[in-house]
Amino acid sequence: MKIFLAGGAGYIGTHTAVELLNNGYEVVIVDDYANSCPEAVARVEELTGKKVALYEADVQDEQAMERIMRAEKPDTVIHFAGLKAVGESVQQPLRYYRNNINTTLSLLEAMEAVGVDKFIFSSSATVYGAQNPSPYKEDMPKGLCTNPYGWTKSMMEQILADAVVAYPRLGVVLLRYFNPIGAHESGRIGEDPQGIPNNLMPYVSQVAIGQRQELTIFGNDYDTPDGTCLRDYIHVVDLAEGHLKAVEFSENHQGIDVFNLGTGKPYSVLDIVNTFQEVNQVPVKYTIGPRRAGDLPICYADASKAKAVLGWEAKKTLADMCRDSWNWQKHNPKGYRK
């Protein structure tokens, strides 16, 4: 079977490509390298000893997607492409709506034209919004998002739900990610943010290696055990295995199904900092700052549906996540730029 990874050169795409290739799937990666680079794909090939069919193209370009799908005849499309910086989405909402929604539409149109009918979508826990209490369950009504990025995910889920009604052959799996961190244990692929990281773990790693002076913890006065926010951090290799299970599931699937990909175990910002320091024996200087606008105090998954239906559950511990993040950072201080 052949899997088409739109945005497959990025952080989650490369880890998923490794799992797919190691399990006998053929992989096509389409990426415009807006937030990734060909070197990441070269390392996927190096790790697996397998070739990837690699295309440089903008996923918004419907004709290009159609051309590549006609040439490659994939069985399933996984859609990882998209802009994902929450703060930036508040500053540039139109760019976010244009880019994220266009990519989804162009993939669906190309699939319809070529006759590809399995679609797996990178969604986010953000679609549960602020109203639902954690742990989030897939059958909760979606909530009100706090930023344009979140709304694009919510809207793309709606577009996909409408598409399966109109195209009965279509099978869609929505995967709602929680907080992916960590890296492949080889240290050859990992997260490579451009500029100042928005997310906690890359920031912690860059402080540990001396590229940033100190971490600011955004608030320690939340109603949580240590006052810092709780999140459901998931190792990116566990997340990649979740995609593998979703691909197997989608082979005989029609309609639309949604799965949380999280561990179900919440950890605080201080848990991350303390575990990182302990496991890696490296100091992480931090200070307590004000709350960040839009942050929820608590966000974690009920992960039981993915276990029951996909036969998947996260296996790696917080210590594994911290160790592998540091291993990647230490061996690639400038990311993929040598």
- Other CB atoms within 10 A of residue 147 CB: 18
d(CA 190, CA 335): 8
User: Does an H or E element contain 257, and which?
Assistant: strand 255-261
Contacting ligand UFG (CB under 6 A), which of 78, 172, 189, 229?
229
Which of 11, 55, 149, 267 does the annotation list as catalytic? Answer: 149
Give the binding-site size for ligand UFG (rule: CB under 6 A): 21
Q: Decide: is 179 part of the binding site for ligand UFG (CB under 6 A).
A: yes
Looking at the Cβ atoms of 48 and 220, the one nearer to ligand UFG is 220
Contact 132, 140 (CB under 8 A): yes
Least spacing, CB of residue 174 vs ligand UFG, in Å: 14
Exposed/middle/buried for 135, CB within 10 Å: 0-12, 13-18, 19+?
Answer: buried
Contacting ligand UFG (CB under 6 A), which of 97, 167, 218, 336?
218
Least spacing, CB of residue 281 vs ligand UFG, in Å: 22
- Please list the alpha-helical segments (H only) found in 115-254: 148-166, 200-208, 236-250
Looking at the Cβ atoms of 127 and 164, the one nearer to ligand UFG is 127
What sign has the CA pseudo-torsion 96, 150, 86, 205? negative
Contacting ligand UFG (CB under 6 A), which of 17, 207, 269, 284?
269
Contacting ligand UFG (CB under 6 A), which of 50, 265, 292, 305?
292
Q: Is 149 a catalytic residue?
A: yes
Least spacing, CB of residue 74 vs ligand UFG, in Å: 26
Residues 6+ apart with CB under 8 A from 65: 6, 30, 57, 59, 106, 107, 109, 110
Contacting ligand UFG (CB under 6 A), which of 13, 150, 264, 266?
150
Least spacing, CB of residue 316 vs ligand UFG, in Å: 17
Least spacing, CB of residue 86 vs ligand UFG, in Å: 6
Strand partners of residue 9 = none
User: Does an H or E element contain 218, and which?
Assistant: strand 215-218
Stretch that binds ligand UFG, among 35-43, 95-103, 123-131, 186-194 (CB under 6 A): 123-131
Q: Decide: is 267 part of the binding site for ligand UFG (CB under 6 A).
A: no
Site string for ligand UFG, 194-213 (x = CB under 6 A): ----xxx--x----------
Tell me which residue has its CB nearest to ligand UFG: 229
Q: Decide: is 125 part of the binding site for ligand UFG (CB under 6 A).
A: yes
How far, in whole angstroms, is CA 159 from its chain's centroid?
Answer: 19
> CA distances (Å), 88 to each of 84, 157, 293, in order?
8, 21, 13
Q: Decide: is 217 part of the binding site for ligand UFG (CB under 6 A).
A: yes
Structure tokens at 177: 């990610």
d(CA 202, CA 184): 14
d(CA 256, CA 38): 33
Looking at the Cβ atoms of 292 and 330, the one nearer to ligand UFG is 292
Residues contributing to the site for ligand UFG (CB under 6 A): 84, 86, 124-126, 150, 179, 198-200, 203, 215-218, 229, 231, 269, 292, 295, 299
Active site residues: 149
